[in-house]
């Protein structure tokens, strides 16, 4: 009885502590929600179920701003969560607003992409009430946030023994070692701590020695020195006796970011490619969602690591695909991102990194005409907020763990009696460090990357019918001229879009009590140069409304009355003016 009372009291105390503080006790920090309805701690990582719970809570707390659903299932049957974020009460049909698509965690071990994507949805909803900019943004735009598009791999990474680089994909059926069994093992966790670290063995002829400045570190000896240790590689066992450790787990994996339907190459050319484009069910679900939402004008995919704002092309063969007009838009947004993402560099995949075919980045842009970036999250710059970390510390990663993480990220070396190698030592960095953000930097960098996505979304088209004017031509005829302006950087159609006719033209329609006899695009208003549209003159089709620019159209109308000009653009949204 007494024990039950103590348990109940402890539960009550925990519940009380979890309740949000009284507003009278709080003082708002600039740029942060002061008393969020959905209290999320952003200094940790959540598995797939945890992400889903946060999504559900956001949608329940803000039904006028967030809708929760799934866009499909993973290979193992997990839901691909989606949060649609917009002002559902203002701005009209959400699917007619210019859209920003965000996803993360396509690679299993690149986990913080999910938190960064979800932080964006959380921040927009929690900041809406007292931030005018967010109110105006969500009236005009819609965000489609899919936190993880690889939930199988995410849960495998979090709940099974792994190192920082494994696994990369979701676990597809692969017989890595040719024994007739598929995916039969993950890595061998010798000490049972959930981390796969390194193995070393004392050897008087070894090529490594203990770093005298930090005994946790191993350094290679010079050509005229003798070492004390040999490194045996990652922690594990040679399961099938072929001399290789842990190949039963993840030696070869299909890469979901080599599966997209642009520039796709088979596995013998592009390592990691699966059967055919969109053979991963997760990628296919994203593809189908994008096709159903032609209003998506911008996209962001979060990866790790390296501190990069990446754009395509992935392969040099596609250099001509990214033409000058579109590159100018990419450059303007990417270089702005460098300003508020410390340590991040704006780069081009094939030029500054390597060639990659069948990537999400290229499919979104080249296949659908959507301006898309992949941010590679986490950079060592963030450890000491300077590029010259190696000038201050011999090994900044070890120093950062020592002085700021208090050696929490490192498994100390300890002896282990290996069944094949005899007496060895195992130790090294845990799987939650070197690629993933440490907790205290997670929210800070999530906020900055969220701000980059918001800036990207803000740059999508915003249309306005700026002018309607009438000129009397005599004999009951009127000339009606309209100017439609685009107040943002992005055009309503990328050059890739117009070149390949990916999306239909923009429609500009005149509604009036009179009869529309002719409709035309105005090429030069000063010189009265026009191009007449031969059919359906009431609705003029224009191939593009340029960013920070305008188009002018003209109609000849018999009769008079009020005029209503309506603009309908798939990626630019809608606008109307009556005069």
Q: Tell me: the pLDDT tens digits for 247-298?
A: 555 555 789 999 999 999 999 999 889 899 999 999 999 999 999 999 999 9
Whether the per-residue pLDDT at 322 is higher than 50: the answer is yes
* Structural contact between residues 262 and 358, judged by C-beta atoms closer than 8 angstroms: yes
> Which residue has tokens 């000063």?
526
Q: What homologous superfamily is domain 71-155+255-378+438-458 in, according to CATH?
A: Zn peptidases (3.40.630.10)
* Structural contact between residues 160 and 186, judged by C-beta atoms closer than 8 angstroms: yes
Q: Where are the domains of the chain?
A: 71-155+255-378+438-458, 173-250+408-429, 463-578
The Cα 403–Cα 384 span in angstroms is: 11
Q: Label residue 172 by pLDDT band (50, 70, 90).
A: low
Q: What is the DSSP letter of 506?
A: E
pLDDT given at position 182:
52
DSSP per-residue codes, 344-399:
-EEEEIIIII----S-HHHIIIIIH--EEEEEEE--THHHHTSTTHHHH-SSHHHH
Burial class (CB in 10 A: 0-12, 13-18, 19+), 79: middle
> Which residue has tokens 């105005």?
522
User: What percent of the chain has a predicted confidence (pLDDT) above 90?
Assistant: 81
Question: pTM here?
Answer: 0.93
Whether the per-residue pLDDT at 187 is higher than 80: the answer is no
Give tens-digit pLDDT for 484-525.
999 999 999 999 999 999 999 999 999 998 999 999 999 999
DSSP per-residue codes, 11-69:
HHHHHHHHSPPPGGG--PPTTS-SS-SS----SS---HHHHHHHHHHHHHH-TTTEEEE
pLDDT given at position 75:
92
Query: Percent helix, strand and coil across the chain, each rounded to 5?
Result: 30, 25, 45
pLDDT given at position 180:
56
Whether the per-residue pLDDT at 237 is higher than 90: the answer is no
The Cα 228–Cα 226 span in angstroms is: 7
pLDDT given at position 112:
98
For residue 403, give the 3-state DSSP assignment: helix
The Cα 487–Cα 489 span in angstroms is: 7
Architecture of domain 463-578: Sandwich (2.60)
* Structural contact between residues 364 and 299, judged by C-beta atoms closer than 8 angstroms: yes
Q: Label residue 318 by pLDDT band (50, 70, 90).
A: very high
Burial code (b: 16+ CB inside 10 Å, e: under 16) for 147-184 equals bbbbbbbbbbbbebbbbbbbbbbbbbeeebbeeeeebe
Residues marked active site are found at: 376
Q: Per the structure block, which two tokens stand in for 363?
A: 């499919």
pLDDT given at position 17:
46
Whether the per-residue pLDDT at 574 is higher than 90: the answer is yes
Q: Residue 546: name the closest of 458, 485, 465 by CA.
A: 485
Averaged pLDDT, 471-481: 94
Burial code (b: 16+ CB inside 10 Å, e: under 16) for 490-509 equals bbbbbbbbbeeebbebbbbb
The Cα 422–Cα 567 span in angstroms is: 75
Q: What is the DSSP letter of 257?
A: G
């Amino acid at each position: 009885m007494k024990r039950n009372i103590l348990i109940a009291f402890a539960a009550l105390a925990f519940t009380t502590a979890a309740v949000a503080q009284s507003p009278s006790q709080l003082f708002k920090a600039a740029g942060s929600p002061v008393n969020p309805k959905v209290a999320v701690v952003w200094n940790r990582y959540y598995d797939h179920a945890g992400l889903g719970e946060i999504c559900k809570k956001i949608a329940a707390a803000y039904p006028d701003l967030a809708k929760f659903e799934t866009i499909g299932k993973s290979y193992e049957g997990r839901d691909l969560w989606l949060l649609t974020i917009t002002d559902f009460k203002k701005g009209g049909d959400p699917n007619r607003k210019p859209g920003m698509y965000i996803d993360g965690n396509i690679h299993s071990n690149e986990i913080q992409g999910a938190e960064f994507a979800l932080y964006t949805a959380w921040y927009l909803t929690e900041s809406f009430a007292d931030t005018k900019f967010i109110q105006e943004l969500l009236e005009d735009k819609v965000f489609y946030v899919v936190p993880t598009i690889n939930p199988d791999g995410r849960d495998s990474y979090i709940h099974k023994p792994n190192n920082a680089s494994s696994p990369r994909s979701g676990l597809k059926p692969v017989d890595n070692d040719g024994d007739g069994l598929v995916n039969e093992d993950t890595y061998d966790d010798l000490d049972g701590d959930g981390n796969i670290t390194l193995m070393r063995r004392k050897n008087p002829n070894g090529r490594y020695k203990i770093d005298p400045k930090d005994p946790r570190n191993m350094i290679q000896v010079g050509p005229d020195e003798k070492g004390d240790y040999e490194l045996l590689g990652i922690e594990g066992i040679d399961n099938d006796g072929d001399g290789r450790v842990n190949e039963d787990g993840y030696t070869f994996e299909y890469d979901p970011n080599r599966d997209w339907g642009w520039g796709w190459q088979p596995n013998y050319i592009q390592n990691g490619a699966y059967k055919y484009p969109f053979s991963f069910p997760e990628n296919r679900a994203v593809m189908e969602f994008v096709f159903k939402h032609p209003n998506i004008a911008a996209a962001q995919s979060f990866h790790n690591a390296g501190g990069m704002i990446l754009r395509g092309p992935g392969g040099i063969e596609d250099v001509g695909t990214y033409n000058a007009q579109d590159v100018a838009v990419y450059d303007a947004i990417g270089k702005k991102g460098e300003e508020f993402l410390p340590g991040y560099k704006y780069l081009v995949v094939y030029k500054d990194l390597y060639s990659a075919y069948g990537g999400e980045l290229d499919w979104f842009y080249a296949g659908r005409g959507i301006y898309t970036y992949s941010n590679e999250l986490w950079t060592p710059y963030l450890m000491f907020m300077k590029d010259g970390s190696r000038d201050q510390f011999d090994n900044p990663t070890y120093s950062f763990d020592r002085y700021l993480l208090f050696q929490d990220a490192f498994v100390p070396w300890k002896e282990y009696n290996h069944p094949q190698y005899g007496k060895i030592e195992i130790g090294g960095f845990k799987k939650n460090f070197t690629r993933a953000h440490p907790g205290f930097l997670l929210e800070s960098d999530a906020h900055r990357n969220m701000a980059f996505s918001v800036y990207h979304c803000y740059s999508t088209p915003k249309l306005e019918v700026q002018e309607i004017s009438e000129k009397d031509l005599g004999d009951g005829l009127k000339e009606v001229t309209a100017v439609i302006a685009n107040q943002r950087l992005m055009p309503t159609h990328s050059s890739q879009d117009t070149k390949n006719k990916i999306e239909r033209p923009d429609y500009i329609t005149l509604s009036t009590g009179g009869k529309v006899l002719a409709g035309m695009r105005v090429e030069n208003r000063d010189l009265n140069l026009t191009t007449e549209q031969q059919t359906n003159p009431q609705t003029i089709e224009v191939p593009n409304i340029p960013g920070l620019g305008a188009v002018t159209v003209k109609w000849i109308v018999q009769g008079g009355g009020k005029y209503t000009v309506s603009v309908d653009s798939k990626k630019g949204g809608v606008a109307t003016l009556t005069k």
